Structure formats: structure tokens, C-alpha cells
Amino acid sequence: MPSSVTESKTEIFNVDDGVDGGEKAPAQNRMQVRFERYLQPCLAELFGTTLFVFVGCASVIGNQGVEGAVQPALAHGLALGVLIAVLGEISGGHFNPAVSLSLYLCGGMELPLLGPYVVVQMLGGMIGAGLAKLMTPSDRYLNATGAAFDILKTEQQLPGAIFGEMAMTCLITMVVLLVAVNTKTKTPLAPFLVGCTVIINVLAGGDVSGTCLNPARAFGPAVMTNYWTYHWVYWVGPIGGCLFAAALLRLILGDEKMRVILK
């Protein structure tokens, strides 16, 4: 195996679309490199997003009628941390279009992989929500709208929900960028820190917006239940938050390689 392929697998969240071997390399070798550069990472993102959304939906549905968000917070955070730890060196462990976008903007992945990643993440969201539907009694699934974030009922709630989704997505993407891309602050504790950040966010903002922070996490159950009320909030908030986090790293917090000013 080419050495650069091995090196690309050693950094969680970072992915590279470069193809090694050149035109003179054996055809079998080129196929292997393309598989590990393109297909395998996309399959890992599909598998990881499916499991993350499945666990997340099941935890919210199972938490019906219970005060507080401890169960969903722990389920989402622990599931994400485990999946990043086991799949991160294959795909980067994004499982979230907002995370993929912020990583692309900060040099953590190449443009040719961004589109396929978003597609498989959305597909994984639908499959995960469908699996949760299969294992959940139909009345409980419908009462929770499949965990499709039905906490927003009125327009008066929208400003707080949008700000909450934006601020908390900014926090989680900033953590991802700092622990996985920024040279000065990289750490092998990245899966643990990202999982803890999700737990903190869900505990802090669950009653405000449902704390989606992930368009794929909201899209899957929305498709399964055909529940689209204020669904756009879970796109506008996370995308706005990830853009703000990327700007922070590019302008202020990033190392010399990442910053675009005062280099």
C-alpha cells in the first residue's frame, strides 16, 4: 500500500481525495487506492450516520414522558464518540453535513468528497430513522413524530431556536476544528471531547430547539414521519453555526497554516 494512503488514515476528521500511484502504477493498486480514497470513506460515513441517527431517534422516542434530556444527551454524545473512535480513521468520522462543510472550509477535506459525503449522510439519516421506526411501537413513534424535532410550535419560538442551533453548532464544529485540524491543539482525545460537547449541548438546549445541530439528524425522521413544520430551522441554524466556527478558526484561532491573516 502506498505510504500516503496509510498516512491519510491517521488523522480523525481529516480526509484527502488525492490518488496515489500514478498512471504507471498497476491497475489493481490504483483500484485499491481509489477504493480507500473514495468509496470506503463514503460507506463509513453512511454506516456511521445511520447508527448515530438510529441511536439518537430511539433515545428521544424512549424518553417520551420523562422530564429532562439526560437520556438523549448521553445516547447522542456516547454514540458519536464511539463512532468517531472506530470509523474516524476511515472517513474522518463526520456524520454531519455541517461538520463536513466546516472541515472543507478549513482545509480538513477536499471539495470532490464534500458532495458525496453530504449525500450519504442524508441517506444515512433516513435509514437510521427507518430502523428506529422498525423497533419502536407505532403509537410511540408517531407521538414523538419519529424524533423529528416537534418542539417548535409557534413563531415566537423561532428566534431562540435559530440562535440556539447556530450557537451550539458553532461550539461543536469549533471543537472539531480545534482538536482535529488545528496543529497547535490537535489531540487523540478528539472522539471523547466531541462526544462530551454533544452531551453538553443537548443538556443545555434540548428544551429550546431539540438540539439537532445536524441537518441529517433532522432530515431522516422528518422524511419517515412527513413532519416538516419549521424544519428549515435545522438547516439554517447548523449551517450558520458551522460557517461562523470556520470563520473564527480562519481569522482568529487557527494556527499559521490555517489563518488567512497575520501569517
- Please report which confidence band the pLDDT of residue 171 belongs to, taking 50, 70 and 90 as the band edges: very high
Note whether residue 18 is domain-resident: no
Residue 19: what pLDDT?
A: 47
Query: 148 lies in which domain range?
Result: 23-253
CATH number of the structural domain spanning residue 91? 1.20.1080.10
Determine the Cα–Cα distance for residues 237 and 129; give it in Å rounded to an integer.
21
pLDDT tens profile 79-107: 999 999 999 999 999 999 999 999 999 98
Q: Spell out the alpha helix ranges (H) of 63-189.
A: 70-91, 97-105, 111-135, 138-143, 158-180
Phi, psi values for residue 123, rounded to 5°: -65, -40
Residue 167 lies in a domain: yes
Q: What angle do CA 79, 84, 88 make, to 5 degrees?
A: 160
Does 8 map to a domain? no
Query: Residue 93 carries which DSSP code?
Result: S
Which residue, 72, 134, 123, is CA-closest to 95? 123
| Encoded amino acid at 140, one letter | R
- Asked if the structure places residue 113 within a domain, the reply is yes
Q: Is residue 49 part of a domain?
A: yes
The least confident of 3-12, 141-150, 192-201 is 3-12
> How many domains does the chain divide into?
1
* Residue 65 within a domain: yes
Those residues whose C-beta lies under 8 Å from the C-beta of residue 146, and which sit 6 or more positions away, are 57, 61, 129, 132, 133, 221, 222, 224, 225, 227
Average pLDDT value for residue range 43-62: 95
CA 201 – CA 213 distance, rounded (Å): 9
CA angle 98, 185, 177 (to 5 degrees): 5
Instruction: Convert 215-253 into a string of H (helix), E (strand) and C (coil).
Output: HHHHHHHHHHHCCCCCCCHHHHHHHHHHHHHHHHHHHHH
- Residue 109 in domain: yes
In a domain, 165, yes or no: yes
Confidence category of residue 10, pLDDT binned at 50, 70, 90? very low
Q: Residue 250 pLDDT more than 60?
A: yes
